[in-house]
A and B are shown apart, each in its own frame.
Chain A
Amino acid sequence: NAGVTQTPKFQVLKTGQSMTLQCAQDMNHEYMSWYRQDPGMGLRLIHYSVGAGITDQGEVPNGYNVSRSTTEDFPLRLLSAAPSQTSVYFCASASGWGQPQHFGDGTRLSIL
């Protein structure tokens, strides 16, 4: 079982560059979300989706875009990378709102 797969695992960007972090799940889960985790801190919610075609903002959405065209995929786009976005990004999925979430192994992103 693949579960939640995130790519890439590591990425270094220059300030101002854009990129897309990929997240895919094979559990047919309706709910998906993106979090960021800064050193020594807990996770903070960026964006989430309760189903294909539906997305909403979380706690820290500025500088990020998402879309959900399929149930399986939930990409996170950085529009113009800034050093403050250096973090570890986690994607998660769940069978429904309020259900236990399954997390990927994260993407470690550094912005110079």
Chain B
Amino acid sequence: DAKTTQPNSMESNEEEPVHLPCNHSTISGTDYIHWYRQLPSQGPEYVIHGLTSNVNNRMASLAIAEDRKSSTLILHRATLRDAAVYYCILRDVVDDMRFGAGTRLTVKP
């Protein structure tokens, strides 16, 4: 399985942008990059996913490096409700998801 590397924790100020990095140097050509987040005492929540091109949705943006060996989840204006553990997951069409430890995001008022 291709692996991902994320920082254990990050801090952000409320209403500022947040860039959450993910390294995946062994990514294969058929691996999709998925991001989920888990708020305290809740199940994971889908955020965004992409293959090669940058992606935007109402929650976030996903910026994928040209060589696909890294990606960045961008929260454009962090709110206190965005405090969560963020998981970057590589997923082939024939694989199920393997969660790592993720990045714990703290948002300061």
Contacts and interface: CB of A to CB of B under 8 A. Distances in A.
Given A45-B97, A97-B93, A103 B45 contact: yes
B23 to A, nearest CB: 16
A48 B96 CA distance: 9
A98 B42 CA distance: 22
B93 A101 contact: no
A10 B97 CA distance: 25
A53 interface: no
B43 A106 contact: yes
Contacts of A103: 43-45
Interface residues on A, range: 20 to 34
Interface in A1-37: 4, 33, 35
A43 B32 contact: no
A83 B32 CA distance: 36
A64 B98 CA distance: 19
A100 B34 contact: yes
Majority-rule SS of B interface residues:
loop
Contacts of B34: 100
Contact of B99 (A43, A98, A102): A43
A42 B43 contact: no
A58 interface: yes
B100 interface: yes
Contacts of B45: 103
Contact of A42 (B32, B49, B91, B100): B100
B43 A104 contact: yes
B96 A45 contact: yes
A58 B96 contact: yes
B44 A44 contact: no
A47 B48 CA distance: 24
B36 to A, nearest CB: 8
9 contacts: A40-B101, A42-B100, A43-B44, A44-B99, A45-B97, A100-B46, A103-B44, A105-B42, A106-B43
Interface of B: 32, 34, 36, 41-46, 49, 87, 91, 93-94, 96-102
